[in-house]
Structure 1
Amino acid sequence: MKTSLFKQVCNVVSCLVFLLLIGQKVSAQLKVGDPGVTFDASKYDNRYPQMKEWQKAGVRGGIPFLKDVKIVKTLTNGANSDAINSAINDASKQSGLVAVLLKNGTYTIDKRIKMKSNVSLIGESRDNVKCIIKMNSGDAFSFYKVRKSGIYTLTIQGSWGKPKYDWNYSLDANDELKSNNNISVKFNDSEDCWLDKVNILNSARDPVRVPANHITLRDLNVDGAHKKAGGAQGYFFIQGAYNLITGCKVTHLRHISLQGGNVEYNVVYDNDFRQEVSFHSGDKGNNLIENNKITLPFDMPNSKADTPNAVYNNSNEPNYYAIMGPWSSQHQNSEKPNFIFKNNCLEKNHNNARPWSNPSLLYKGPRQVKPSNPATNFPALSASLTPKGGTLYPMILSKNTGGSNACNSTVTVAGANDAYLQQSAKYNTNELRVEGNERVSYLQFKIPANSASIVNAKLQLTVSTDSGSGRIDVLKGKSNSWTEDNLSTTNKPLQGAKLGTLTTTYTKGETYSWTLTDLQPGETLTLVVKQVNGNDVSFWSKEGVKPPKLELKLSCNSAASKSILSLEEKELTSAIKVYPNPTQNYVTVSNIKAGQELIIYDFSGNVIFKKVANSSAETLDTSGLKPGKYIISIQGKKGIQFIKK
């Protein structure tokens, strides 16, 4: 069982162990929307000055890391809106970025939760903190004229059960809760606020409404709305400017809509939508939709005139496409075009059509209101107008959050060069191909220098347009004197030691991993990817939809002894003693009180052992533990690290 280390391991006010608080592995890899994300100026394309505006989208300065937020109030199972609002008000009187922690349990949202500037809500775990909405009007969680406020790692759920209808069929019955206009979360006239790792389920009207600027919605799971009839119901609704939507899964709503005269320079990046994206009416344009997976399920309405696969085929049934402009003469077209690039669109409701999915082409639109053919409303530009850097949102994510010496962390490294040779011909495209000795791919990675050792490395490749099968080896290239622009049969790296191998069936759209050995920090690494047997395969290159990446798991050596928890040295010392340390078969905890709970965790946040102390000294059996580092949590005290030999 995974659980929070926060408060059980550390003091509530001063603990910096916030990444483990949410039961996840600490990662040194920056994510979209994090502090410290920068942009690669070498990839700017002067034909698209909007790129410099898009990089401003979302919370300015990034969503604060949990380690930088101070918990000042804690609530437990059963608290209601009054208790949560009271805790938020008390927290707002303190300086700096502060938060209210909701322990695992169920919370009744029977009145509006009024967020305050510089105050966040943090759930102990995403799926086990459930905020159940039991109100019929207004906003359940309201960000009104606030700054630097957000919600992390919890579930917001309507109390009305799962909606009867998955989709909008233009039926009056799609308004399932006629007297209920509750919106789950609303940002109104606020800036630099966020939702991060939040589930929003079974909403009444809208799950999220954002008439605000510089909001980041990251890693949301949004599923279901009871009201999907007319009058702006059931929307994932963006109504402002410079907002960032990334890493989200959204489905079973009426629309994901960017709509209104304030909507511009929003970035919708790297999401997994099972819902269309709509420029519904009257946006200003210059919004970016890039690197998303947009899948319209088979049962999503597609009008009676199309393949009859919807639940209802009435004369007014909507016709959904993966990306839409205004579809009614009552709507207004975008003031300026919007940009669609490197998305993977699949319309299962339209015989598995794949519009706007060519990663080498940039699409702009919408061209018109209520087009005769919505599939052509975002036409492709000529290949010569494809962004020169292969992206309109050139983030740099290689920097790690724990510094270059981050211990027990995972770092993801993007490729520096990749291309393949087909006999004597070089191909530097959006694909990498392998086929026996006929086609061999070459990849180059620059591994960050640090004083931690690499204990595990994985090369991850995603199959692009051509499935295949068989054994594929990854070998170490003996030289790095090549680039994707000059690779040839004369300078191609000679093949060295085999680093990894995989034998399987390779399916289009799926990602596969090769576990590699003997990689060193700081080296420039060439990988030779070669098929030994089977049917040929194609993978996305770094210019493709899902670029190759090298995932490195780091562990500190004696020269890099920083703890994963980044606690100050004084926080690891107290009157409580843990000995022997290192240990082998047992460890004794002394200077404690009878009745205090002792918990041993591993460094992934897993609970290994629990015991209630019977005296001032307890001896714990550690003979069954694997060698490694562990934390002993003493109720009401700070955590103490020990090492099992």
Structure 2
Amino acid sequence: MKLYLYKQKKAFVYCLVCLLCFGFKVTAQLKVGDPGVRFNNSKYDSRYPQMKEWQKAGVRGGIPFLKDVKVVKTLTNGANSDAINSAINDASKQSGLVAVLLKNGTYTINKRIVMKSNVSLIGESRGNVKCIIKMNNGDAFSFYKVRKSGIYTLTIEGSWGKPKYNWNYSLDANDELKNNDNISVKFNRSEDCWLDKVTILNSARDPVRVPSNHITLRDLKVDGAHKKAGGAQGYFFIQGAYNLITGCEVTHLRHISLQGGNVEYNVVYDNDFRQEVSFHSGDKGNNLIENNRITLPFDMPNSKADTPNAAYNNSKEPNYYAIMGPWSSQHTNSEKPNFIFKNNCLEQNHNNARPWSNPNLLYKGPKEVKPANPATNFPALSASLTPKGGTLYPIILSENSGGSNACNREVTVSVLEDAYLQQASKYNTSELRVEGTKRVSYLQFKIPANAAAITSAKLQLTVSTDNGNGRIDVLKGKSNSWTEDNLSATNKPLPGSTLGTLTTTYKKGETYNWDLTGVQPGETITLVVKQASGNDVSFWSKEGIKPPKLELKINCNNAATNSILSSKTVEATTTVIVYPNPAQEYITVSGLTVGKHIVLYDFLGNVLLKKVAKYTSETLITSGLKAGKYIIGIEGEKGVQFIKK
């Protein structure tokens, strides 16, 4: 399909919008690191037996779903380390996987938080639970000799403000906190533990240090460290084996480092790094770096850089490359080679060089210590040695929707937008509230189009923090021209026909179902949730612990539809990716085919930009766009939706 055929533009955008909603919002696919992920053995390449070992990386059995973790303690705004440790200790006395819930607010970390086996910390929402570190030494969050323990959905932030220097310039001044060696999170001699959807900002020394095995670090946002001088400062530090790093965004540190004699069979997969990846010294080898976007910003030091606030010294100035081996004669080389495959590397600090980015070649290294040319220290193998299945990590992500292989399928549909109005005020939080006509909640879903009929539909809502009772109705909204960002008293969907109703007592933590009628395949539907009688209730929103969802039973009465719906797995493959998303001043589109057309659309189908891809990764300036949602269309490829903040 060619996007520059303007007569087809409107129809194309409509289909693309449907595709985006279905592909990115509706399917309840498992994520890398989830329970239940499998690997495609047909893509096994016997020349690379390490593939079997890489499949073991991360938490064995996967990071537990939140629905499988029981919250047994709840803390509120203002609690400190003593209160958190006391709650963790109390929780550890209960059986099964349990958790301490931190409600939205600010928490003072003035002593080490000691994690316990089978106990997790869960933030009510990632951006609104802030754990502020106010201690100078030790580990703020310590996993020591524990198993099945993790942290979900919160922010950990140093109390010292943003670092003065973004990067290491080999200056003494890069040690900005002389008497502070605090590490934000440390996994020490632990196994099967995790961080999931955690933000770590303005660390003192290291944001994360992992001298452990089978740890999963997933969907982290890591930015800044105050100590980036010598002596292993400012590291995103992997020191063990069989660890999985996926979905993370990391920048403004000294190194992302895999270093030491225990480091092997780690998998670094599908991350967005604005920071180099280093095999710093003495790792065992057989680590995998695949399907990552690694960008070194323009201001990152290189051999021709001017050192800020100091005289330039060519013999001392750091020289960063996207992937590095040992760069000092004091370091030792990897015992065995490491594997670099299908990454998109962009070195803006080296005249936009793109080393190790050919998707058809496998790179191995490092081949030597302190190479004369670091850009060649991970040489490419011949094309005949490219993995036969096109990947060294052939993960399969199954849709977590239940059902069988019969033609009557069950499909889980995730909510696209949700918020509530309290009279004229909009609230887009981790909760949805209903209270007579005072508080009304609005949810939007995209129903799969590839079904002949929907035989049943259930709306599932889970009570969050406020019990209630009475009758709650679900009505069909008369419009979909709203989002959770712009919902107001003037554009709110007017309620139409009643689709379902439920009268009961609503208890915290319990999930309730509304049987809905009249849901049609392919439609975007707004559900208006109103309380007709009784005491007010709060439910988790999509930002909360147990988001709303629709459970559909789909009847596929033709062969084509049956074929589509019976295929319940998708393989994780390199595809077109847009980052950062949301964007502000620019976006980078990677995974492109040189020569293909790139077209930027708004949701009305208007062409805002068109260009031909000269490289496999292109940067588009978005500073002139209004805040909103946009579509990047690629000739012959699936399109990608992004948000301009």
| 2:464 is the counterpart of 1:557 | no
Q: Which residue of 2 aligns with 1:295?
A: 295
Q: Which residue of 2 aligns with 1:439?
A: none
Shift of 1:352: 0.3
Q: For 2:497 and 2:153, how far apart are their aligned partners in 1?
A: 30
Q: Report Cα offsets for 1:166-200 as digits up to 9, x if no partner.
A: 00000000000000000000000000000000000
Contact 2:100-2:121 within 8 A present in 1 as well:
yes
Shift of 1:606: 9.6
Shift of 1:369: 0.2
Q: Which residue of 1 aligns with 2:313?
A: 314
Q: Which residue of 2 aligns with 1:271?
A: 271
Q: Which residue of 2 aligns with 1:54?
A: 54
Contact 1:454-1:519 within 8 A present in 2 as well:
no
- Counterparts of 1:621-640 in structure 2, within 5 Å, are 624=495, 638=510
Shift of 1:577: 2.8
Q: Which residue of 1 aligns with 2:281?
A: 281
Shift of 1:557: 3.2
Aligned-partner residue type, residue 220 of structure 1:
L
Contact 2:124-2:154 within 8 A present in 1 as well:
yes
Q: For 1:56 and 1:116, how far apart are their aligned partners in 2?
A: 23
Q: Which residue of 1 aligns with 2:450?
A: 520
Bigger Cα displacement from structure 2, 627-636 vs 118-127: 627-636
The verdict on how the C-alpha distance between 1:309 and 1:245 changes in structure 2, with shifts beyond 3 A counting, is same
Q: Which residue of 2 aligns with 1:127?
A: 127
| 2:296 is the counterpart of 1:403 | no
| 2:372 is the counterpart of 1:372 | yes
**TM-score using structure 2 length:** 0.65
Q: Which residue of 2 aligns with 1:389?
A: 389
| 2:135 is the counterpart of 1:205 | no
Q: For 1:224 and 1:238, how far apart are their aligned partners in 2?
A: 17
Q: Report Cα offsets for 1:287-314 as digits up to 9, x if no partner.
A: 00000000000000002xx365977633
Aligned-partner residue type, residue 450 of structure 1:
R
Q: Aligned residue pairs: how many?
A: 453
Shift of 1:317: 1.1
| 2:103 is the counterpart of 1:103 | yes
Q: For 1:456 and 1:204, how far apart are their aligned partners in 2?
A: 38
SS at match of 1:99: strand
| 2:535 is the counterpart of 1:576 | no
Contact 1:302-1:310 within 8 A present in 2 as well:
no
Contact 1:453-1:557 within 8 A present in 2 as well:
no
SS at match of 2:28: coil
Q: For 2:309 and 2:355, how far apart are their aligned partners in 1?
A: 24
Contact 1:447-1:521 within 8 A present in 2 as well:
no
Q: For 1:320 and 1:565, how far apart are their aligned partners in 2?
A: 49
Shift of 1:402: 2.8
Q: For 1:211 and 1:219, how far apart are their aligned partners in 2?
A: 20
Aligned-partner residue type, residue 450 of structure 2:
Q
Q: For 1:272 and 1:200, how far apart are their aligned partners in 2?
A: 15
The verdict on how the C-alpha distance between 1:77 and 1:346 changes in structure 2, with shifts beyond 3 A counting, is same
Contact 1:73-1:99 within 8 A present in 2 as well:
yes
Q: Which residue of 2 aligns with 1:189?
A: 189
Structure showing greater radius of gyration is 1
Shift of 1:403: 1.6
Q: Report Cα offsets for 1:228-262 as digits up to 9, x if no partner.
A: 00000000000000000000000000000000000
Q: For 2:223 and 2:366, how far apart are their aligned partners in 1?
A: 27
Q: Unaligned stretches of 5+ in structure 2? A: 1-23, 417-445, 478-482, 517-526, 529-645
Contact 1:216-1:244 within 8 A present in 2 as well:
yes
The verdict on how the C-alpha distance between 1:338 and 1:565 changes in structure 2, with shifts beyond 3 A counting, is farther
Contact 1:360-1:383 within 8 A present in 2 as well:
yes
Q: Which residue of 2 aligns with 1:247?
A: 247
Q: Which residue of 1 aligns with 2:339?
A: 339
Shift of 1:630: 9.5
Q: Which residue of 2 aligns with 1:450?
A: 409
SS at match of 1:202: strand
Bigger Cα displacement from structure 2, 270-279 vs 633-642: 633-642
Contact 1:300-1:310 within 8 A present in 2 as well:
no
The verdict on how the C-alpha distance between 1:519 and 1:448 changes in structure 2, with shifts beyond 3 A counting, is farther
Contact 2:296-2:322 within 8 A present in 1 as well:
yes
Q: For 1:60 and 1:449, how far apart are their aligned partners in 2?
A: 33
Aligned-partner residue type, residue 273 of structure 1:
F
The verdict on how the C-alpha distance between 1:627 and 1:250 changes in structure 2, with shifts beyond 3 A counting, is farther
Shift of 1:609: 11
Q: For 1:136 and 1:31, how far apart are their aligned partners in 2?
A: 36
Aligned-partner residue type, residue 409 of structure 2:
N
Contact 2:54-2:242 within 8 A present in 1 as well:
yes
**TM-score using structure 1 length:** 0.65
Q: Report Cα offsets for 1:16-57 as digits up to 9, x if no partner.
A: xxxxxxxx9786101000000000000000000000000000
Q: Report Cα offsets for 1:436-477 as digits up to 9, x if no partner.
A: xxxxxxxxxx999834599999xxxxxxxxxxxxxxxxxxxx
Shift of 1:211: 0.1
Q: Report Cα offsets for 1:554-605 as digits up to 9, x if no partner.
A: xx9343x4544589xxx9xx993306x46689xxxxxxxxxxxxxxxxxx99
Aligned-partner residue type, residue 172 of structure 1:
D
Shift of 1:623: 5.4
SS at match of 1:349: helix
Q: For 1:184 and 1:159, how far apart are their aligned partners in 2?
A: 11
Contact 1:307-1:350 within 8 A present in 2 as well:
no
Q: Which residue of 2 aligns with 1:323?
A: 323
The verdict on how the C-alpha distance between 1:172 and 1:327 changes in structure 2, with shifts beyond 3 A counting, is same
The verdict on how the C-alpha distance between 1:309 and 1:638 changes in structure 2, with shifts beyond 3 A counting, is same
Contact 2:225-2:234 within 8 A present in 1 as well:
yes
Contact 2:58-2:244 within 8 A present in 1 as well:
yes
Q: For 2:403 and 2:350, how far apart are their aligned partners in 1?
A: 48
Q: For 1:267 and 1:346, how far apart are their aligned partners in 2?
A: 21
Aligned-partner residue type, residue 283 of structure 2:
D
Shift of 1:625: 7.7
- Counterparts of 1:64-143 in structure 2, within 5 Å, are 64-143=64-143
| 2:1 is the counterpart of 1:42 | no
Report sequence identity in percent: 74
Aligned-partner residue type, residue 256 of structure 2:
I
Q: For 1:358 and 1:171, how far apart are their aligned partners in 2?
A: 35
Q: For 1:165 and 1:294, how far apart are their aligned partners in 2?
A: 21
Aligned-partner residue type, residue 470 of structure 2:
K
Q: For 1:447 and 1:609, how far apart are their aligned partners in 2?
A: 43
SS at match of 2:264: coil
Shift of 1:113: 0.1
SS at match of 1:67: helix
Q: CA RMSD in A?
A: 3.6
Contact 1:43-1:389 within 8 A present in 2 as well:
yes
Q: For 2:266 and 2:204, how far apart are their aligned partners in 1?
A: 26
Q: Which residue of 1 aligns with 2:170?
A: 170
Q: For 1:623 and 1:339, how far apart are their aligned partners in 2?
A: 56
The verdict on how the C-alpha distance between 1:70 and 1:298 changes in structure 2, with shifts beyond 3 A counting, is same
Contact 2:174-2:227 within 8 A present in 1 as well:
yes
Q: Report Cα offsets for 1:343-362 as digits up to 9, x if no partner.
A: 00000000000000000000
